[in-house]
Amino acid sequence: MRPPIRPFFETVTRMLPESLPHPDKLRALASVLSPDATPAVAFSGGLDSSFLAWFIRTFRGRRPLCLLAVSPLLSRREYARALKTAQELDLPLELVELPLLDSPPIRENSTDRCYHCKKEILSRLGEKARQAGCTRLLDGTHAGDRGFRPGRRALKELGILSPLEEAELDKPAMRDILAAAGLSFWNRPPQSCLATRIPYGTPLSAPLLGQIEGAEDLLWRLGCRQVRVRREGQGVRIEVEEGDFALFADPGNRREILSRFGDLGFLRVSLDLNPYRSGCRDEGFSPEAPVEKEPRAPAGGLPVEARKLPVKGQE
């Protein structure tokens, strides 16, 4: 059953009932957002941008234009999730097709790939927002986004406002608020683009990203609650939550995983005994450190990039 959406409130003082958790942070968020602005939101369907769009829709009485960047870096699962969330919140959603892999800095997957990717995406979304008559493009970066995040430089250069960060709202606070408001996505696990599964220095391609997506799709279907399939050489390393380790003890699951991953071109499959945690990919990473290129496939082996899989738009 679709959860109820809170009714609109006429003023700032009325729109933040004390029954909601973290009222001080909600007031801070309201103060960041101009009541007369017509905003657009860089929308992914994830918790952060969905929370921001919901807040504007519910407590500002406006339907922000949600702009979704569609590219080979976006999985079909995340694409479908964004469509569903926009429908649940009754939000206008515009799809913006972006050929991100045509950009050499993005395709080459250097340590500042996220900066170039973010800048390309937000530049194009900003153009769309202006064409639609929106006064500002908003981004879902929040107070918990710390560590190595080169994409933040693009936000600063383009003048993109991140209201959640300014209001000191982080994921735990947003989850509390959304759960109290009855929204279905309150406990949605964090996701990231498919490129984050590929080591720096390994060129990105649509077939390679499609292979990673296909491997993760199987693990989602087997019941994993959070999944990352990291490319390592000619194999992959699987990261899941500790509670999902038992799924890999089942012989039938293991056979299906090995068979499917082999079909996808992965010569080795390992399970990381460290449970998944957000940001672990770049823990201890220094952007100044040299990036090693992956070794070529062994004689007789087929490079993963050569495997032809259906990717979005090429089925």
User: For position 293, what pLDDT does the model report?
Assistant: 52
Give the number of residues written for the chain.
Answer: 315
User: Which of 68, 72, 41 is closest to 56 using CA atoms?
Assistant: 41
Which helix (H) or strand (E) segment holds residue 65: the answer is strand 65-70
Question: Which residues, 6 or more positions from 65, have their beta carbon under 8 angstroms from its beta carbon?
Answer: 39, 40, 41, 92, 94, 129, 132, 134
Cβ atoms of residues 170 and 143 within 8 Å: yes
Map residue 233 onto helix, strand or coil: coil
Question: What are the pLDDT tens digits along the chain (315 aa)?
Answer: 434 434 333 334 444 557 899 999 999 999 999 887 889 999 999 999 999 999 999 888 889 999 999 999 999 999 999 999 999 999 999 999 999 999 999 999 999 999 999 999 999 999 999 999 999 999 999 998 876 778 889 999 999 999 999 999 999 999 999 999 999 999 999 999 999 999 999 999 999 999 999 999 999 999 999 999 999 999 999 999 999 999 999 999 999 999 999 999 999 999 999 999 876 655 555 555 555 555 443 333 333 333 333 333 333
User: For position 34, what pLDDT does the model report?
Assistant: 83
Distance CA 9, CA 6 (A): 9
User: For position 306, what pLDDT does the model report?
Assistant: 33
Distance CA 143, CA 131 (A): 30
Report strand pairing: 235-240 vs 227-232: antiparallel
Cβ atoms of residues 168 and 141 within 8 Å: no
User: Which of 281, 190, 192 is closest to 231 using CA atoms?
Assistant: 281
What number of CA atoms fall less than 13 Å from residue 195's CA on the CB side? 27
User: For position 315, what pLDDT does the model report?
Assistant: 34
User: For position 59, what pLDDT does the model report?
Assistant: 87
| End-to-end Cα spacing for the chain | 32
From the centroid of its chain, how far is CA 67?
A: 14
Which domains are delineated in the chain?
A: 23-181 (3.40.50.620), 194-278+289-306 (3.30.300)
From the centroid of its chain, how far is CA 51?
A: 14
User: For position 297, what pLDDT does the model report?
Assistant: 37
Residue 132 has which token pair? 């639609």
